[in-house]
Structure 1
């Protein structure tokens, strides 16, 4: 009875030994494959990392390329605008160059014009109502002296001449009171009087004691005496011209137009 049991035990042991031998053999045969597979996996992981890096670099390059293209588009618009401005500046330069070439011609023409204007202004003042004679004569003398000066630009000379004309124009639409000397023609010589100028319509005087009054007769180029009826009006006009009272109606004699 004991022999069969030992036989089974021996068979079992042999079977187990056979299995263990086969497992060891299998493990020995599969190890190169497993090692190679691990190497392949490591290589694939490294390749994937490389691909990721390349993809990131490509994305960065693409973004930089888009930014450069956008900047190029902006530069094209800017260059087009600058080109138009340069063309306009070239036209202006040409216009200025033409004007500069004509300056000497204009200067030669405008100087005789100013001299004629000054002569005309001198004649006008001499024939005009004789108010502020010394002031107006001094202004004309100053213009004549200025025309001979080399340190005064032609533009400034022309401005001064126009300014003198404008002053004369303003005299015709203003009222003014000032003091001066007048020859009354009564043997008393010159006396200090108050003048009242109403535009160029009337120029009258009144002595300081208010007893004598006169009006300039432009047609006869002389002073004519005024009646006492005008005394209050002349006094009112003097006060108005000196800003001592508000503007009001006054009566003065005027010469009839011819």
Structure 2
């Protein structure tokens, strides 16, 4: 074989090899592009999944917050309903109080004249009653008159003091009291022990226990008692003062007045 033909064969072989190589390169380029695109798709999908996961977590947090806010709203609604009922009840109470306040003036108009009448009646009663503890009782009535004209004492307190005075006078009618004092006899004062037996009898005995007198409501004077009463009066005075045990005693009792 000649040298020319050998070179031709070698050249042909090189051309074939180059052709095959070029063909492989042409196929390899599209495959690489597909692989790169697929990689990008996977990367994008992973990023999208992360975003989805993030948004899902945020949605879950918002849902939890919503449930909490909804629960607080129901609690606040229940509390507001409770407060509204309290306010309504307070408004009703305030309306009732205001009604009472509006009636105070009318009440004063009725109570004030009544209190003056009660004090006047008490004053007359003390003057017409048996003259026991006269100074104390008259001073109490005078004090009530001064209180009625005082702006420093409330209306309720004035009424209470008047009722207290009436209560004290009522107790006098069911009690026995002994106290020391002076008895005016014909312009002469005698130191005596007074014995007040309810409103039934009022007697006086001299400190030396030698003389005794009983008050006469008819004549408004003192009648002297005979010596037969002295011992019983002494016993009654000691019992009234708690100086002797309770025992029977006899006292002069004025006769009941005939009904007219």
The answer to whether the superposition gives a TM-score over 0.5 is: yes
Secondary structure, in 3 states, of the residue corresponding to 1:251? coil
Structure 1 residues 43-52 or 155-164, which shifts more?
A: 43-52
Match of 2:79 in 1: 78
CA separation of 1:40 and 1:110: change in aligned 2, threshold 3 A: same
- Shift, 1:63, TM fit: 2.8
Match of 2:91 in 1: 90
Structure 1 residues 85-94 or 114-123, which shifts more?
A: 85-94
1:16-68 deviations in Å (ceiling 9; x for gaps): xxxxx9xx999998766666565555545444444443333333323332232
Are the equivalent residues in 2 in contact too, given 1:193–1:205 (CA < 8 A)? yes
Q: Structure 2 matches for 1:48-59, cutoff 5 A? A: 48-59=49-60
Secondary structure, in 3 states, of the residue corresponding to 1:149? coil
CA distance in 1: counterparts of 2:83 and 2:195, whole angstroms = 65
1:143-188 deviations in Å (ceiling 9; x for gaps): 2233333444333332322222222122223332221101346x8x
CA distance in 2: counterparts of 1:242 and 1:38, whole angstroms = 123
Secondary structure, in 3 states, of the residue corresponding to 2:66? helix
- Shift, 1:232, TM fit: 4.6
CA distance in 2: counterparts of 1:175 and 1:234, whole angstroms = 12
Q: Structure 2 matches for 1:134-213, cutoff 5 A? A: 134-184=135-185, 189-213=188-212
Secondary structure, in 3 states, of the residue corresponding to 1:255? coil
Are the equivalent residues in 1 in contact too, given 2:176–2:240 (CA < 8 A)? yes
Secondary structure, in 3 states, of the residue corresponding to 1:81? helix
- Shift, 1:72, TM fit: 2.3
CA separation of 1:59 and 1:238: change in aligned 2, threshold 3 A: farther
CA distance in 2: counterparts of 1:240 and 1:59, whole angstroms = 96
Are the equivalent residues in 1 in contact too, given 2:182–2:190 (CA < 8 A)? yes
Are the equivalent residues in 1 in contact too, given 2:235–2:249 (CA < 8 A)? no
Are the equivalent residues in 1 in contact too, given 2:236–2:249 (CA < 8 A)? no
CA distance in 2: counterparts of 1:230 and 1:73, whole angstroms = 91
Are the equivalent residues in 2 in contact too, given 1:202–1:252 (CA < 8 A)? no
Structure 1 residues 96-105 or 108-117, which shifts more?
A: 96-105
Are the equivalent residues in 2 in contact too, given 1:206–1:213 (CA < 8 A)? yes
Q: CA RMSD in A?
A: 3.3
Unaligned runs of 5+ residues in structure 1 are 1-20
CA distance in 1: counterparts of 2:199 and 2:142, whole angstroms = 23
CA distance in 2: counterparts of 1:64 and 1:239, whole angstroms = 91
Match of 2:249 in 1: 251
Secondary structure, in 3 states, of the residue corresponding to 1:209? coil
Match of 1:217 in 2: 216
CA distance in 1: counterparts of 2:36 and 2:225, whole angstroms = 141
CA separation of 1:69 and 1:170: change in aligned 2, threshold 3 A: farther
The count of aligned residue pairs is 233
CA distance in 1: counterparts of 2:183 and 2:212, whole angstroms = 11
CA separation of 1:134 and 1:58: change in aligned 2, threshold 3 A: same
- Shift, 1:141, TM fit: 1.6
- Shift, 1:132, TM fit: 0.8
